[in-house]
Amino acid sequence: MLTIVDYHSGNLGSILNMLKKLGVPAKISSRPEDIKNADKLILPGVGAFDTGMANIQKLGLFDILNEKVLEDKTPLLGICLGMQLLAERSDEGDLPGLGWLKGDIVRFKFNGPSGELKVPHMGWNSVSVINDNSLFKDIDEPRFYFVHSYHFRCEDSRDVLATTDYGYEFPASVHRDNIWGTQFHPEKSHRFGLQLLKNFVEQS
């Protein structure tokens, strides 16, 4: 059973509907026992970094998430804020992140002509896969839907799976071991997002 972690942030219903289209058994839950019994996890997210981390702590999910992901090596996909929470810290707040990937979260900052770009970065954008990975299998000329004002800055370039350009290049997707993240929203990205979720579900 795949569990979508409900920490009171994210497009939970939209993700569940996409998984139903794929015929994937899934549930939305904030119960530690459901997370413990999951064979895959999705950590969605919309909103502020500190709020997300505070909710994870308040709901008693911090330790079980660490156990499942770091010890049991359960595949996890972080989406948007869920990807940002994988980092060590964020310019958006004061609380530490999960720290599963080395790096921090920074706000878009443009110089020169790019300074006229609007923040948040919102809408469809192309994604360039720079490290071959099955998460993007069978996705030709990938385009995904973004809504965000902050982005990941990885300490180790090997953790960057794909990039997108908005004024400058930034990580659109990250990966290390059993952990994947997408800054974009696959649940809002039609056939591209459906294929990506299918690819994640097929990870072992």
Catalytic residues: 80, 185, 187
**Crossing angle between the packed helical segments 190-201 and 12-21, to the nearest 10 degrees:** 80
Distance CA 182, CA 26 (A): 19
Q: Is 116 helix (H, G, I), strand (E, B) or coil?
A: helix
Q: Are strands 150-154 and 143-148 parallel, antiparallel or unpaired?
A: unpaired
Q: Is 9 helix (H, G, I), strand (E, B) or coil?
A: coil
- How far is C-alpha 199 from the geometric centre of its chain's CA atoms? 14
- How far is C-alpha 141 from the geometric centre of its chain's CA atoms? 20
